[in-house]
Structure 1
Amino acid sequence: MFDFIEEEREDCLLLCPKGSFNHSTVPLIRDRLYSHCCDDGCRIVMSMKDVDFIDSAGLGVMVHAHKYCDKYGGMIVYSDMNDMIAKNMKMLTMDRYLNFSPNIDSALLKFDW
């Protein structure tokens, strides 16, 4: 089962997916996420607190979202990853490319630019 919640918080969009972020679930969020990423100066936090698994399709969506935000002068920050996913992201050196934060509050602080 997969679901996601969208809400506005402190001039940012907070997205909270729930479940596995994989090839069968990314179509449920991908287009909506990309449309937000293409807004000039977008500020997006994606809380991964309730995500229990990310496959290559999910990682691809995360990378493309980052690229779109960067292209349009915005930023996306991924927060609240469980230990296993965080270790995998570090192993793949994604922590050098994507914006990660331990929680939503620290993610929101990254937008003070």
Structure 2
Amino acid sequence: MSTIDHARPLVITDEQAGTTTVVRCAGEIDIATVPYLRDRLQQLQIDGPSDLVIELEQVTFIDSVGLGALIGAHKRARVLQGTFTIVCTCRPVLRVLSATALDRVFRVVPTMDEALASIDG
């Protein structure tokens, strides 16, 4: 497990769950913090398993640049023939995903168990 926290309002942790990389984000995903998220996701996807689950339960804000980082990770997962799943029940994040129709592009589920079961099963 690794943690990134560069005195920014975003904490990123990651761990392996079987053949899946799980990334948990807490705080704000915006123009100030997205470079760390983008770089970490890219590194994890290239160096590790191609299946990626991102948990956004503790995200308090996400802007268009943050959405762009998620879109990039989603595209990379497809190129690597992996999966990309978001775990989230947080209303502010779900509203943004819905308003941008990204909830129809990304697989968004309410629990980590559901995300991992669909990949393993």
TM above 0.5, yes or no, is yes
The 3 A distance-change label for structure 1 pair 2 and 40 is: closer
Q: Which runs of 5+ in 2 are unaligned?
A: 1-8
User: Which stretch of the first structure deviates more once superposed, 97-106 or 60-69?
Assistant: 97-106
Identity %: 27
Instruction: Specify the alignment match of 1:43 in structure 2.
Output: 51
Conservation of the 8 A alpha-carbon contact between 1:77 and 1:101: yes
User: Following superposition of structure 1 onto structure 2, how do residues 27-42 of structure 1 map, counting pairs within 5 Å?
Assistant: 27-38=35-46, 42=50
Structure 1 position 96 matched with structure 2 position 107: no
Q: What is the CA distance between 1:40 and its match in structure 2?
A: 7.8
Q: CA deviation at 1:30?
A: 1.1
Q: 2:68 aligns with which of 38, 60, 70?
A: 60
Aligned-partner SS, 1:87: helix
Aligned residues: 113
**What TM-score does the superposition give when structure 2 sets the normalisation length?**
0.84
Q: Which runs of 5+ in 1 are unaligned?
A: none
> Conserved in 1, the CA contact under 8 Å of 2:30 and 2:65?
yes
With a CA cutoff of 8 Å and minimum separation of 6, indicate the structure with the bigger relative contact order.
1
Render the CA deviation track for 1:10-31: whole Å, top value 9, x for unaligned: 3211111110011100111211
CA RMSD between the two structures: 1.7
Q: 1:23-73, CA deviations, whole angstroms, 9 ceiling, x for partnerless residues?
A: 100111211201222358611111101111100010000001000000110
